Amino acid sequence: MAMAERFEARWLPFRFVLAVVLLVLTTDRASVLLRAEATPIGINYGQIADNLPSPARVSWLLRSMQVSKVKLYDADPYVLSAFLDTGVEFVVGIGNENVSAMVDPAAARAWIQRHVQPYLPATRITCITVGNEVFKGNDTELKANLLPAMQSVYQALAALGLQGTVNVTTAHSLDIMGSSFPPSAGAFRADVAPYLQPILSFLSMARSPFLINCYPYFAYKADPGNVPLEYVLFQPNAGVTDTNTRLNYNNMLYAQVDSVYAAIQALGHADIDVKVSETGWPSRGDPDEAGATPEYAGTYIGNLLRRIEMKQGTPLRPSVPIDVYVFALFNENLKPGPASERNYGLFYPDGTPVYNVGLRGYLPPMDYSQGTRKVRSSPVFLC
């Protein structure tokens, strides 16, 4: 036997064993990371883009970051399937364009049977949002149909035996507030309150949370000369004292949340939890969008995540850890509007972090070696 043949004969078994060992080591490393204790960080997973990684790869990325909660704006079957048996909690959404149809009980039941029931319990769907920022627009029919649609979805869940497993709510923009400072004087707009009063009664009955989208960045962008940067970025500052409660607020987000609590209480409810369904800071914007930089975005998100990990509450409810969904996972290149709208992501679509906030994750590379796209076993580690 020639030297080359003898070497190849001995090398092949060794190469096979080496490949198996490396695969086991890689798998074990990934498994340890995926089993690590999850932190109470929620992430909004938007998909208004044409260059995002597959849901299977995103599943690896989010779990490696120890993200425990994900919020969707729809009920994407590919995403829900990619998170089977992962333990990650999901909020799924019914878009504004479908809200009025949900008033029909049969339509609501069919939607749940198609988009929710098939994935339970393997995928942990815990909440359905019916519409998003409905009161920001001028569609009076949509506003009038919101509560009946929520009630219809809730009743359909009950009929299917899912009441208590999946709750029902809707997400609001902060411009539903007529007054937000001082926080104790928080009040809903006069034109919105008649809609919100019965919605609050529904949320109280259903034991569902009130979701609010809060962006201190908007306040800074609108008036950078008078809104202290330290106050909106969770940096050390003297804070602002509420003259009614004597509570001190050292950041705008907590003041916004407590103003919503005050507005809810003013309408007679003290039993509804407020959750921040969106908050974020853009890393890039148009020339007239002050503060849209990677530095400020990283500071805002990094300081916020530290407070979430500390299970910190607001001054009004210090014992109740603030519940936040960061916006967003990826930059979304097809979102309309100013440049900032396309630059709220923690990651670029290729998995590269937009800025460093201490989250460690990995996105498996794609394997095109056999002419088909599939996720390879070995991960790429990112910081």
Q: Position of tokens 């590269």?
A: 352
Quick one: the chain helix, strand, coil %, rounded to 5?
A: 40, 15, 40
Rounded-to-integer distance, Cα 187 and Cα 183, Å: 9
Q: Which of 282, 278, 44, 97 is nearest to 171 (CA)?
A: 278
230 catalytic residue (yes or no)? no
Q: What are phi and psi of 355, to 5 degrees?
A: -155, 165
User: How far is CA 171 from each of CA 52, 127, 214, 303, rounded to the nearest angstrom?
Assistant: 25, 12, 11, 24
Give how far Cα 5 sits from Cα of 11, 16, 242, Å: 10, 17, 83
Q: Contact at 8 Å (CB) between 312 and 253?
A: no
Please pick, among 5, 97, 133, 341, the residue that the annotation labels catalytic: 133
For the purposes of burial, counting CB atoms within 10 Å of the CB of 214, is it exposed (0-12), middle (13-18) or buried (19 or more)?
buried
Q: Annotated catalytic, 133?
A: yes
Give the C-alpha separation, 135 to 263, whole Å: 16
Q: Among residues 278, 289, 295, 309, which one is catalytic?
A: 278
Active centre residues (catalytic): 133, 278
